Amino acid sequence: MNSIKTFITTTVIATTAIVSSALAGDITVSGPWARGSAGMAKAGAAFMQIQNSTGMDDTLVAVKANVSKKVELHTHLMEGGVMKMREVKGGIPLPAGKTQELKPGSYHVMFMGLNEPFKEGSMFPITMVFKNAGEQTINVHVKSPKAMGAMKSMDHSNMNMNHGDMKATDQKMGGMKK
């Protein structure tokens, strides 16, 4: 009886590992990049496209990295005529069969309290944590501090940026004060 329990347990664990691996393989991350740091900036962001080919909705729930004190998933929202950056509670949705673009002015990965500035031409690893597909580690390439990605086409003439709600309360966390 004990060998049957061991067999069943081993089969369940192996099947779970295979399914998780297959799901992670069906989440494709392309074009990961970050803007090089301007001066002594203590905050940075990463952008990319995430294709979900798993056949089921998923969610990017977290990102882990050793390049900063804190890593959060963020978006920009227009509130009262002011563009504000906000942490995305619950993660970034990844609908089945769709591509979610993380880009300037929209969803992005936010690094606060950088250990050192992002240097153009370098790269760093991040581990993306998906609700269903598990974890996937990718390399983020650092572009010029002037890189704008998709923001080039945005009209900024009536946009006021307010980063005061980023929960950074001291000089150590991104150099921003509330």
Which residues of the chain fall short of a pLDDT of 50?
Answer: 6-23, 150-178
Domains in the chain, CATH or no CATH each: 2-148+158-162 (2.60.40.1890)
pLDDT value at residue 70: 97
How far is 129 from 23, CA to CA, in rounded Å? 12
Size (the chain), residues: 178
Under 8 Å between Cβ of 124 and 142: yes
How far is 83 from 85, CA to CA, in rounded Å? 7
Alpha helices in 26-158 (DSSP H): none
pLDDT value at residue 126: 98
pLDDT value at residue 150: 45
pLDDT value at residue 5: 54
Structure token digits, residue 154: 């945005």
For the entire predicted model, the pTM comes to 0.70
